[in-house]
């Protein structure tokens, strides 16, 4: 009996040893397989890309050319007609304009010469008028507008929203905002386009404006002979004149206790932009301004030679 147990015990030990030898013999192969699998996984991971090394050719962006006028600040253009030489037997003359500003196809124009004369307010009334309810605004946007421009030209004139600020020195109210086809420059605009009291803001009156009793500067001929001021319109002998701005001037009592109602204007000597202004009933020059769109009217139409006066 003891012999049988011994035999069984020896058999069991031999079996365990054999199993141990078998596991030990195959262990290197398992490790090798594990390493191979790890290597494959690493290779797969490395093959993953964030595409940073791939150059994608972007389609060419379409270049959109923004249309613009061929004219720029300081250029002279012809637009509309108005009586200027004061000769009844000739046709109205083309109006010359100075380009003050440009935005794409849009141009801000200021008449090169003073075209007419009038009062900011009728007579010497003590009724204070601002640009929004002034007779001169009504005239520019009715009579002048209808006389000076054809239907095609009117189509190109832009309705301009104007803000007239209070007087910078006296605080006089500028009135309500307006929408105008034709307008006068404000103090702010005059200083913007003619900074530091640029003397080029001074101009001459046409013969017709002179005949309308436009208020002239007495010493203008002397100044013209010095070559300070622009060339005169033919037949005016170099007479420069005062012209209205749309901004308010001084409003209040003077040293004598009299109530004064004034509007700003441009005079014809040093420091021409005058914030104190002139009495609204005075007859000063009118130098219209307006915005036009050349995309509607065409640059070529503005570039025409000045019309020959016909009998």
pLDDT per residue as tens digits for the range 208-240: 998 898 887 765 444 444 444 444 433 344 578
Q: Can you give the pTM of this predicted structure?
A: 0.74
Q: Which of 298, 243, 282 is nearest to 113 (CA)?
A: 243
Mean pLDDT of the 181-188 span: 98
Question: Has residue 46 got a pLDDT over 90?
Answer: no
Question: Does residue 157 register a pLDDT over 90?
Answer: yes
Segment 172-176 long-range contacts (CB within 8 Å, at least 24 positions apart): 172/248, 172/249, 172/250, 172/251, 173/130, 173/248, 174/130, 174/131, 174/247, 174/248, 175/130, 175/131, 175/132, 175/133, 175/248, 176/130, 176/132
Q: Is the pLDDT of residue 33 over 70?
A: no
What kind and span of H or E run contains 213? none
pLDDT level of residue 269 (50, 70, 90 thresholds):
confident
Q: What is the mean pLDDT of the chain?
A: 80
Sheet with 259-266, side-by-side order of all strands = 116-119, 283-286, 243-253, 259-266, 273-279
pLDDT, residue 83, reads 95
């Amino acid at each position: 009996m003891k012999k049988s147990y011994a035999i069984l015990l020896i058999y069991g030990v031999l079996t365990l040893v054999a199993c141990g030898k078998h596991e030990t013999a195959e262990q290197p192969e398992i490790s090798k397989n594990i390493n191979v699998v790890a290597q494959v996984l690493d290779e797969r991971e490395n093959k993953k890309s964030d595409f940073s090394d791939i150059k994608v050719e972007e389609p060419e962006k379409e270049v959109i050319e923004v249309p613009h006028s061929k004219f720029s600040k300081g250029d002279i253009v012809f637009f509309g007609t108005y009586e200027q030489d004061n000769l009844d037997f000739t046709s109205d003359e083309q109006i010359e304009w100075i380009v003050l500003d440009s935005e794409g196809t849009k141009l801000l124009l200021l008449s090169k010469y003073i075209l007419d004369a009038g009062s900011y307010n009728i007579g010497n009334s003590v009724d204070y008028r601002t640009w929004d309810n002034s007779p001169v605004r009504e005239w520019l946007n009715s009579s002048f507008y209808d006389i000076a421009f054809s239907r095609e030209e009117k189509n190109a004139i832009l309705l301009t929203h104007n803000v007239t600020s209070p007087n910078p020195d006296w605080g006089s109210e500028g009135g309500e905002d307006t929408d105008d086809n034709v307008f006068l420059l404000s103090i702010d605009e005059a200083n913007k386009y003619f900074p530091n009291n640029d003397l080029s803001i001074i101009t001459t009156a046409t013969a017709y404006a002179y005949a309308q009793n436009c208020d002239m500067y007495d010493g203008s001929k002397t100044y013209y002979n010095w070559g300070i001021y622009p060339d005169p319109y033919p037949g005016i002998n170099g007479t420069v004149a005062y012209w209205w701005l749309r901004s308010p001037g001084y409003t209040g009592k003077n040293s004598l206790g009299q109530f004064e109602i004034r509007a700003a204007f441009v005079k014809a000597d040093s420091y021409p932009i005058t914030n104190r202004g002139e009495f609204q009933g005075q007859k000063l020059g009118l130098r219209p301004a307006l915005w036009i769109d050349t995309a509607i009217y065409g640059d070529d139409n503005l570039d025409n030679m000045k019309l020959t006066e016909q009998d």
